[in-house]
Every structure is written in C-alpha cells, then in structure tokens.
A and B are shown apart, each in its own frame.
Chain A
Amino acid sequence: MSEPNERSQTITLRVNGTERRGQVEPRKLLVDFLREDLGLTGSHVGCEHGICGACTILVNGEAARSCLMLAVQANGAELMTVEGLAPQAGEPPALPGKTGQLHPLQAAFWEHHGLQCGFCTPGMLMTAYDLLQTNPMPSEAEIRAGLSAVLCRCTGYQGIVEAVQAAAETLRARRGDR
C-alpha cells in the first residue's frame, strides 16, 4: 500500500464534518496535525503519554487520545474535535441568553462552573460526550469513573460532574421530545 519511507504522505480525512487534506511526515502526532496544520487549537497537549486526556477527540465517533495516534493513521477517518461540538457558537462575548448555540454539555459546563483555566475542558467535553453516548444515564460514580480519563487541576471536578449530570438530563429530555 504505502511507500516505505519517512517522507511526507498525503492524507484525507473529515474533521467536524468537513473534508480536510494534509501532507504529513509519518511520525507527526495527530494532535499536532490538528493544531498546527489544520489550525484547530482547541485540542490541547498536556502530556503526550496518554494520561492527561487534554488531547481527547472523537475518532470515528469514539473518544481517543490524539497524542497517541499518528496523523497518517487518521487517513480516511471521521474526527470530531471540540470545535465541532457547537459549530455555531464561539462568538464572544458570551452574553446571557446566548447559550442556545452551545452544545448541552458546553452549556452545562458554563452553568455549573465546570472549568477554570479551561485547559482540560476540550478533552473533558469530548470524553463526557462519549461517556453519555455509551451510558446515557450514568450515576455519579460512573461519571467520575468515566471522567477519570481526563485530569483537571483547577476545579476538583465537582462542577464538571454536576455539569455532566445536568447535560445527561438535557440530552435525555431532548431525545424524549422527539
């Protein structure tokens, strides 16, 4: 299939619903590709050994560490990063009443003070996203276990856990409506 070399390869993938292309050296980490080549700096780098979770994104719908994947491995994949959670949001300043555009998880993090410095937040959101899709009605202990995949040094996790509980309810209600 591929050429046996260390030189750049062309990759094509979908990120947040849009097709993207890139030229990458095989060793380039997926997170670096997202941040440097695609300008998607929402996914953060905190450890590059899989522990902190700041780089967590969705790969084909499932949460994964983008520091433990090569960009070439994402060739043909469908990725979602924090920027894709609520593509319409992000117009500062956030004024009250404008939460409609945020994803329920983001809105709940805002409401419950689920972030301080915000560095862990993208990884936290993407992990919570996957957690709620595999377990839509998690107990507090299950939320804590699920979120133990991402380290936060600021919040003590309490606001985050409350936010995920609240978002789970919003999402359930939404599904119920339909």
Chain B
Amino acid sequence: MKPPPFAYHAPTHLDEALALLERYGDDAKVLAGGQSLMPLLNFRLSYPSALIDINRVAELSYLRQENGQVCIGALTRQRTIEFSELARRQLPLLHEATTLVGHLPIRTRGTIGGSLAHADPAAEYPTVALVLDAELVLQGPGGRRSIPAEEFFVSYLTTALAPNEIVTEIRFSPAPRTSGWAFEEVARRHGDFALVGVAGVIDTEGEQCRTARLAAAGAGPTPIRLRAAEDILVREGVTEQGIQRAAAKAAELVEPDSDIHASADFRRHLTEVLTRRAIQRARERGQEQRA
C-alpha cells in the first residue's frame, strides 16, 4: 500500500494553484488535508499525474464574520472549527457535527473544503452545508462563482466542481438565535462514518414551528434535504403527531443503499428514528436558547 508516483507542487498562492490545475487538467488532484485522498492513493485507487498541495496557500485558511455571514476558508481545518469560539456561537450545528467527524488526529489535518469537495454522502459537513443553505465559493481560471450547497452535491463523490476549479470558501448564514439545532447520527463505532445522520435546525414557539430545516447523511447518493418533512413540521407544529409524521415522511424521502453494515430498510428506519430525535433535541435547545 504505497502511493503510485506523481509530480508534486506546493504553491503558496491561489493563483499559482489554479494555474497548475489548469496546466494538468483532469490529471491533477488538489491535496488538502489528505484524510480522504491519501488513503485512496495508498490503496492505489487513484493515479493522479500530479498533486497540487494547497496546504501552503495561507489565504485559504480563515474563519471570520462578514456582513452577517460566517465565512470559512476552504483550507480551514476541522480542528480549527472545533475549537473556534465564533463557530461555536454562530454555527453551533457545524460545531456539533465537527466533533462527530472522525477523530482528533484526523480533524487536525482534514479541511472543510476537502470534506465538501470529496462529497461523501455519509459525511457530516456536506449535510450541514445543505441544511444551513450554505454557499460554496469556487474559483477557476475564469474567476469565481458561488453555488448553493443544494446544487453542489451531484451524486456519490461527485460535485458541480469543474476539474480546474478550487473550492475557496464556504459561507454560512447563522440561523436565528431563537432556533435550536441537532446533529443525530448512528455509526457502528466511535468516529466512523455514520450509517445515517440527520441534521436539523428548527425555530419553534410553543408547539408552533416557524421554520424547519432537515437533511440526512448516509441515506442516498448525496446528502438529502428533507423538505417535505420540514413542511409537515411547519404545517402541523412540533406536536407528538407532527414530529412523528415528519419523521415518517423523512424515511420516505431518502434513497439509501444496502451494504455490509446496514440494509436500505434499516437505514430508512434509522432515518425516521434520527429525524425524530433531531427534531426533539433541536426543539429543546431552542427552548433553552430563549430561556
């Protein structure tokens, strides 16, 4: 399990990185935290002719507030987000999800941009980006464009990113302060990718649900936004029946596969259970927020 040979570049500026990408076209791979790419190379499942290592592109590493949004540079480490006060206050869902990503020594290297670009449907960050309606900023030789998370995830490990583009930034609009959040997941072992995870952000007042946002991880080829379940909550409120019906709807919306760890049926079942748990916990947290 040793990687095949490749050329290696460690640009220090984004422009330089983009130029290199353009030069190699499809053949090059961007190397960020390496926590997904390096295993693929070691297994020889990927044979890039060149690696463009962006770890020295300092301009891609930041976490700041801008015009009411939280903007995170693509190279920002998961660990930085985990220990960021700003992330914890403004994006508590992202923060909670971060603690579920692998293990501390993985998060030391793993980046938010890498996680989104890798687009593993069972990963936490893509689901969080989806549920928070995040925007991804992509830069290519022709300039920048920004794309909502919902359009970014195309299929299993496939995104709207062009081969000559780099994810440079992720922008989150923090949820209203009155809302509650939860990331609920089931994994076989601590730190494993989830069998299923459900992220929720809801804003409630008593039993009334002002807004609800729900998405599932590990339950389809991409993270899946559970809009019809959200609608039920808003329509019926966070009553026992409303929650139950929303959760049941969520299980209908997902399109899970079977593998050696769980069948599609079981994943559907877990989607229902976790949706309910996520709604309940988000609601409790919302109540605490207000109190």
Do A and B touch (CB < 8 Å)? yes
Residues of chain A at the chain B interface (Cβ within 8 Å):
1-2, 4-6, 9, 25-27, 29, 32, 48-50, 53, 56, 59, 62-65, 67-70, 72-73, 75, 127, 130-131, 134, 144-146, 148-149
Contact B5 A134 (CB under 8 A): no
Known: A29-B3, A69-B34. A63 touches B9 (CB 8 A): no
Q: Is the CB of A6 within 8 A of B5?
A: yes
Chain A residues near B83 (CB, 8 Å)?
134
- Are the C-beta atoms of A64 and B2 separated by less than 8 Å? no
| B39 close to A68 (CB less than 8 A) | yes
Contact check, B109 vs A69: say whether CB atoms are below 8 A apart: yes
Contact in complex: A49, B1 (CB < 8 Å) = yes
Q: Is B156 an interface residue (CB 8 A)?
A: no
A48 to B106, CA, bound (A): 13
In the complex, whether B103 has a CB less than 8 A from a CB of chain A is yes
Output the nearest chain A residue to B42 by Cβ-Cβ distance: A48
- Chain B interfacial residues counted at CB < 8 A: 38
B232 to chain A, nearest CB (A): 35
Whole-angstrom CA separation of A1 from B3 in the bound complex: 23
Main SS at interface, chain B: loop
Residues of chain A with a CB closer than 8 A to B39's CB: 48-50, 68
Q: Can you name 16 A-B residue pairings with CB atoms under 8 Å? A: A2-B9, A27-B8, A48-B2, A49-B43, A64-B105, A64-B109, A65-B106, A68-B39, A69-B34, A69-B38, A70-B51, A70-B53, A131-B104, A148-B190, A149-B102, A149-B191
Whether the pair B105, A53 counts as a contact (CB closer than 8 A) is: yes
Task: Decide: A6 and B7 in contact? CB cutoff 8 A.
Answer: yes
Contact call B108/A62, Cβ cutoff below 8 A: yes
Q: Which residues of B contact A (CB under 8 A)?
A: 1-12, 16, 20, 34-35, 38-39, 41-43, 50-51, 53, 55-56, 79, 83, 102-106, 108-109, 189-191
Verify B104–A73 contact, CB threshold 8 A: no
Query: B7 and A130: CB pair below 8 A?
Result: no
Q: Is the CB of A72 within 8 A of B10?
A: yes
CB distance from B84 to the nearest CB of A (A): 13
Cβ A63 vs Cβ B105 within 8 A: yes
Alpha-carbon distance between A9 and B1 when the two chains are bound, in angstroms: 22
Asked whether A127 and B104 contact (CB < 8 A) given A29-B2, A48-B42, the answer is yes
Given contacts A26-B51, A68-B39, A148-B189, whether A63 and B104 have CB atoms under 8 Å apart is: yes
A26-B6 in contact (CB<8A) = yes
